[in-house]
């Protein structure tokens, strides 16, 4: 689903204590990832979430950083992953995107962690910039809503506090 087709979202809501979020950011494209993080923070502010940010070298490191963070029990209620991969002239883009997505899905399904996945996989930097602006097309905000929804589901099913 593209952001343009996404339903209009109002303020985020979440019952229970304010969530603790770890945002793992791969700021290879600093302006893009910072823009997505700003969008996410606006969503997290609605629920008074505390947000800790950890940076990794690039998108390829996101799954391993997530796996490491999950070894710290009870510190975070959810995880937001932010990064951007821009297609180049070689197959490198395909292999990196595939590895990141499969790696995150593998960690996600094995751990049942609450995750918001904000990895932009785009053809051009302009496409990434359009998805990280301070507007309703911000993919960081969309990923923040996703992690809050996962936290709500975990709490509903008694899997989290």
Q: Is 73 exposed, middle or buried (0-12, 13-18, 19+ CB in 10 A)?
A: exposed
Residue 93 assigned as binding residue: no
Residue 29 assigned as binding residue: no
Spatial distance between the Cα atoms of 35 and 70, rounded to a whole number of angstroms: 25
First to last CA, the chain: 31
Spatial distance between the Cα atoms of 43 and 141, rounded to a whole number of angstroms: 6
Contact 104, 62 (CB under 8 A): yes
Catalytic sites, residue numbers: 92
Residue 56 assigned as binding residue: no
Residue 59 assigned as binding residue: yes
Tokens of 68: 């490491």
Task: List strands edge to edge, sheet with 20-25.
Answer: 50-55, 20-25, 78-86, 115-122
Residue 75 assigned as binding residue: no
Residue 129 assigned as binding residue: no
Residue 52 assigned as binding residue: no
Binding site for (2S)-2-hydroxy-3-oxobutyl phosphate, by residue number, is 89-90, 131
Binding site for 5-amino-6-(D-ribitylamino)uracil, by residue number, is 28, 59-61, 84-86, 117
Binding site, by residue number, is 28, 59-61, 84-86, 89-90, 117, 131
């Amino acid at each position: 689903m593209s952001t343009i087709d996404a339903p209009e979202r109002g303020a985020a809501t979440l019952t229970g204590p304010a969530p603790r979020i770890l945002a793992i950011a791969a700021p290879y494209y600093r302006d893009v990832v910072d823009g997505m993080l700003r969008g996410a923070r606006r969503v997290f502010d609605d629920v008074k979430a505390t947000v800790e940010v950890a940076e990794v070298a690039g998108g390829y490191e996101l799954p391993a950083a997530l796996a490491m963070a999950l070894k710290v029990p009870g510190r975070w209620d959810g995880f937001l992953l932010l990064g951007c991969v821009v297609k180049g002239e070689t197959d490198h883009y395909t292999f990196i995107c595939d590895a990141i997505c499969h790696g995150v899905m593998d960690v996600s399904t094995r751990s049942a962690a609450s995750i918001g996945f904000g990895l932009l996989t785009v053809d051009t930097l302009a496409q990434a910039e359009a998805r990280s602006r301070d507007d309703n097309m911000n993919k960081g905000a969309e990923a923040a809503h996703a992690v809050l929804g996962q936290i709500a589901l975990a709490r509903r099913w008694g899997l989290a506090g």
